[in-house]
Amino acid sequence: MMLIPDAEHDELVLGERPLIVCDIDEVVLEFVTPFQAFLMDQGHELRPTSFRLNGNVFSLAHGTETPHEEVARLLEAFFAGQDDWQTPVLEAAHSLERLSDQADIVFLTAMPPRHREVRRRLLSRHGFDFPMIATEAAKGPAVLALHGTRAQPVVFIDDIFVNLQSVRTHVPQTLLLNLIANDAFRALAPHPGEGVTIAADWPHAEELIRAHFDAIAV
């Protein structure tokens, strides 16, 4: 059992095989689409005009921009009640289940650890029975702590540029995949940067991961 600093996590025991570290929001659980629905329910609207939340949330009653502190409060309320709102991303559970024949899978979410239990239940409800790490620390050092100097292939999947580049810095041999579930936000997203491959959806991600494992198998 290894320990990741500043994180809460399930028991982690890695086998002598490839490792897939996978983000949750917008990758295996829909985030933007249900958060839009939640905001509507709370009298706000998320207008996807750029790849961010702040500055794109508006009051339905007044048409004015919702202040950042209020967006933060709404996000906190959304995560507290996430099991009423978030749904699985199409094909994610099937792809991961198939990949788990060949690789260990660990979820790495940037969610505050206080929401860990509700998220754990939500994941298990949708068939995502893999260990989860919840931490607000940078993802690169977390992947390094997990994988260390092992020779096995390692894959990291995330929707956010900064997270992908953090892992690229700390574990440069990682296959980095950018996956964004929401169509409108995917269209608005900046290129995830050098060394990152864009996966259109889960079947595409699965294909890229298998090809990577085949290419470096000894």
Question: Which residues form the interface with Mg ion (CB under 5 A)?
Answer: 23, 25-26, 159
Structural Rg of the chain based on CA atoms: 17
CB of 164 to Mg ion, least distance (A): 10
Alpha helical stretches, state H, the chain: 32-41, 68-80, 92-99, 116-125, 139-147, 161-170, 183-188, 202-216
Is the Cα torsion angle 3, 16, 128, 108 positive or negative in sign? positive
| Nearest residue to the partner Mg ion, using Cβ | 25
CB of 163 to Mg ion, least distance (A): 7
Residue 134 CB contacts under 8 Å (≥ 6 apart), including other chains = 7, 8, 9, 109, 111, 112, 113, 115, 116, 119
* Alpha carbons 33 and 185: distance in angstroms, whole number: 10
CB of 27 to Mg ion, least distance (A): 6
Nearer to Mg ion, 23 or 30 (CB): 23
Nearer to Mg ion, 39 or 213 (CB): 39
Nearer to Mg ion, 27 or 175 (CB): 27
Residues forming beta bridges with residue 22, ordered by sequence position: 107, 157
Nearer to Mg ion, 26 or 104 (CB): 26
35 in Cβ contact with 78 (< 8 Å):
yes
CB of 176 to Mg ion, least distance (A): 14
Nearer to Mg ion, 25 or 206 (CB): 25
Residue 59: both structure tokens together: 């009051």
CB of 24 to Mg ion, least distance (A): 6
Largest Cα separation within the chain, whole Å, is 62
